[in-house]
C-alpha cells in the first residue's frame, strides 16, 4: 500500500514538472528543403555522422574503463588501510581520473572534427582552460557524493538510499546556485547599448526584471553560437557566447535568443531540473542498492567501480526520458520568446542559421533524436514559429 502511494505521488509530481505553457501544436509534415539549402543539409548530415560516431565511441570507452576498474580496483581498495571513507575517496579519485582519460581522446577528436568543418580553431590549450573550471566543480561534487554514499551506507546498511538521496539533491542544488555566480564572474556585460536596452525591455515583458544578461568569450576555441541560463534565485544569470555578437546575427535575431533564455528564467527551468533530480535520485539509488547487495553493498569502497558502472548504464537507459523533458522545456522557452518578441521571422532565421553555424541536422535519425538531442529539432522549432504566427490574427496576411 505504501509503495503504491509512493508511486502515485511520484507520477503526480512528474506530471506537474513536465507541464509547460506550450499549447498542443502539430509540428510534423514540414519539408526541411523549404528552409535549408541542399548544401547545408548535406554538410549537416555528414558532420552529424561524425559526431554520432564520436558519441558512441566515447560511451563505449567509458563503459569499458568502468568495467576494467570494476575488475582491477577492488583489490587495491582493500589494501589501502585508510578506512571505508578514506578508501572511498582514493577509489573515487582513481575512477574520476580513469573516466577523464577515457573521454579525453574523443573530446579532442571532437574538437578536431569541428575544426575540420570550420566550426572553430583547433585550440587545445584554450579548450582545456575553458574545461578546467567545470571539471573542478564536477570532481568536487562527485567526491562529496561518494563520501555521502559510503558514509550513510556504512551507518545504515539497508536504508542508506533514503538518507543519501536528499543530501545528493542538496549538493546538486548548492552547485546549481553557485554556478550562476561562477558564470557571472567569468563573463562581462553586453557592450552594445542598444542590445542592453533590448534585454531590459525583454526582461520586463518576461516578468524577470533585473536578471543579468552577460557575454562569455569563447571565440578562442569555437565559432559556434550558444546561450544558456545558470543559477537559481539571486544567482540567476543569462550568458551569451560572444560568437552570437560577431555580426553574423542581426539585432532582432540576437533578441530572440535573449528572450529564449529569459523564458527559461521565467519558467524556472533550472529549479524544475533540481525537482527532477529529487524525483529520480531515490529510485536510482534503490536500484543501485539492489544491484550491489550481493557484493556487500556500496558501504564497501571496493564496490564503488561496479556501482559507477551500474550508474553509467542506468544513465544511458534514462537518457531518452531526460532528453524528452529537456526538449519540452526548450520548446517552452521558444514559445515564450515568440510571445515576448512577436518576431517569428527572426526566430526562424536563427534556426536556419544554426544549420550553418553549428551544422545541426534539421531532422536527425530517431536514435539520435532519442539519445542525443536535448533540444527540439531545427525543423520542429521552425514549425513552431509557423504555428505561432497562424495563431495570431493580427499577423495573418489580408
24-59 pLDDT, tens per residue? 999 888 889 999 999 999 999 999 999 999 999 999
Let me know if residue 396 belongs to a domain: no
Residue 245: how many other CB atoms lie within 10 Å: 17
Q: Which domain holds residue 349?
A: 39-390
**pLDDT bracket for residue 1 (50, 70, 90):** low
Let me know if residue 5 belongs to a domain: no
Query: What would the mean pLDDT of 87-94 be, rounded to a whole number?
Result: 85
pLDDT value for 154? 86
- SS3 category, 241: strand
Let me know if residue 24 belongs to a domain: no
User: From CA 108, how far away is CA 19, in angstroms rounded?
Assistant: 38
How many helices (H) does the chain have, and how many strands (E)? 12, 4
Termini Cα distance of the chain = 61
- How far apart, in Å, are the Cα atoms of 285 and each of 2, 87, 278, 282? 18, 21, 11, 5
Could you tell me if 48 and 110 are in contact, meaning their C-beta atoms sit under 8 angstroms apart?
A: no
Strands 213-216 and 188-189: antiparallel
Q: Is the pLDDT of residue 396 over 70?
A: no
Could you tell me if 235 and 229 are in contact, meaning their C-beta atoms sit under 8 angstroms apart?
A: no
Retrieve residue 97's grid coordinates.
581520473
pLDDT value for 394? 64
Retrieve residue 157's grid coordinates.
546498511
**pLDDT bracket for residue 398 (50, 70, 90):** very low
248-287 pLDDT, tens per residue? 999 999 999 999 999 999 999 999 999 999 999 999 999 9
pLDDT value for 140? 79
Let me know if residue 397 belongs to a domain: no
Q: How many domains does the chain have?
A: 1
Q: Is the pLDDT of residue 319 over 50?
A: yes
Query: What would the mean pLDDT of 76-84 be, rounded to a whole number?
Result: 71
190-208 pLDDT, tens per residue? 999 999 999 999 999 999 9
Residue 241 Rama label (left phi>0; alpha psi -120 to 50; beta): beta
Let me know if residue 33 belongs to a domain: no
Q: Which of 352, 350, 326, 327 is closest to 338 using CA atoms?
A: 350
Could you tell me if 61 and 106 are in contact, meaning their C-beta atoms sit under 8 angstroms apart?
A: yes
Strands 213-216 and 237-241: parallel
**pLDDT bracket for residue 294 (50, 70, 90):** confident
Q: Is the pLDDT of residue 84 over 80?
A: no
pLDDT value for 81? 65
Query: What would the mean pLDDT of 296-302 be, rounded to a whole number?
Result: 85
pLDDT value for 133? 64
Let me know if residue 15 belongs to a domain: no
Residue 235: how many other CB atoms lie within 10 Å: 18
Let me know if residue 196 belongs to a domain: yes
Query: What would the mean pLDDT of 121-126 be, rounded to a whole number?
Result: 83
pLDDT value for 148? 83
Let me know if residue 2 belongs to a domain: no
**pLDDT bracket for residue 224 (50, 70, 90):** very high
User: From CA 374, how far away is CA 367, in angstroms rounded?
Assistant: 12
Give the DSSP letter of residue 119: S
**pLDDT bracket for residue 117 (50, 70, 90):** very high
16 CB-near residues (< 8 Å, 6+ apart): none
Amino acid at each position: 500500500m505504501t509503495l503504491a502511494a509512493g508511486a502515485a505521488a511520484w507520477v503526480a509530481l512528474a506530471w506537474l514538472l513536465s507541464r509547460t505553457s506550450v499549447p498542443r501544436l502539430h509540428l510534423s509534415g514540414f519539408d526541411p528543403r523549404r528552409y535549408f539549402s541542399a548544401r547545408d543539409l548535406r554538410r549537416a548530415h555528414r558532420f552529424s555522422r561524425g559526431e554520432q560516431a564520436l558519441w558512441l565511441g566515447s560511451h563505449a570507452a567509458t563503459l569499458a574503463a568502468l568495467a576494467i576498474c570494476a575488475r582491477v580496483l577492488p583489490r587495491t581498495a582493500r589494501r589501502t588501510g585508510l578506512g571505508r571513507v578514506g578508501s572511498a575517496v582514493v577509489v573515487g579519485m582513481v575512477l574520476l581520473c580513469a573516466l577523464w582519460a577515457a573521454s579525453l581522446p574523443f573530446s579532442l577528436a571532437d574538437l578536431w572534427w569541428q575544426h575540420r568543418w570550420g566550426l572553430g580553431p583547433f585550440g587545445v590549450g584554450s579548450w582545456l582552460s575553458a574545461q578546467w573550471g567545470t571539471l573542478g566543480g564536477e570532481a568536487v561534487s562527485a567526491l562529496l557524493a561518494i563520501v555521502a554514499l559510503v558514509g550513510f551506507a556504512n551507518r545504515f546498511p539497508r536504508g542508506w538510499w533514503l538518507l543519501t538521496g536528499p543530501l545528493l539533491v542538496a549538493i546538486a542544488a548548492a552547485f546549481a546556485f553557485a554556478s550562476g555566480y561562477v558564470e557571472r564572474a567569468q563573463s562581462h556585460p553586453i557592450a552594445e547599448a542598444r542590445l542592453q536596452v533590448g534585454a531590459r525591455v525583454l526582461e520586463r515583458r518576461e516578468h524577470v526584471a533585473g536578471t543579468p544578461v552577460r557575454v562569455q568569450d569563447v571565440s578562442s576555441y569555437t565559432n559556434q553560437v550558444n546561450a544558456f541560463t545558470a543559477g537559481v534565485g539571486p544567482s540567476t544569470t543569462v550568458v551569451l557566447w560572444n560568437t552570437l555578437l560577431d555580426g553574423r546575427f542581426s539585432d532582432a535575431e540576437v533578441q530572440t535568443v535573449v528572450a529564449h533564455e529569459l523564458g527559461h528564467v521565467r519558467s524556472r527551468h533550472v529549479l524544475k531540473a533540481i525537482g527532477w533530480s529529487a524525483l529520480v535520485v531515490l529510485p536510482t539509488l534503490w536500484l543501485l542498492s539492489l544491484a550491489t547487495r550481493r557484493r556487500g553493498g556500496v558501504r564497501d569502497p571496493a564496490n564503488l567501480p561496479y556501482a559507477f558502472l551500474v550508474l553509467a548504464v542506468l544513465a544511458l537507459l534514462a537518457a531518452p526520458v531526460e532528453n524528452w523533458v529537456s526538449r519540452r522545456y526548450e520548446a517552452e522557452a521558444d514559445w515564450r520568446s515568440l510571445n515576448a518578441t512577436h518576431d517569428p521571422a527572426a526566430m526562424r532565421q536563427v534556426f536556419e542559421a544554426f544549420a550553418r553555424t553549428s551544422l545541426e541536422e534539421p531532422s536527425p535519425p530517431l536514435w539520435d533524436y532519442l539519445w542525443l538531442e536535448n533540444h527540439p529539432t531545427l525543423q520542429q522549432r521552425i514549425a513552431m514559429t509557423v504555428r505561432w504566427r497562424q495563431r495570431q490574427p493580427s499577423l495573418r496576411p489580408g
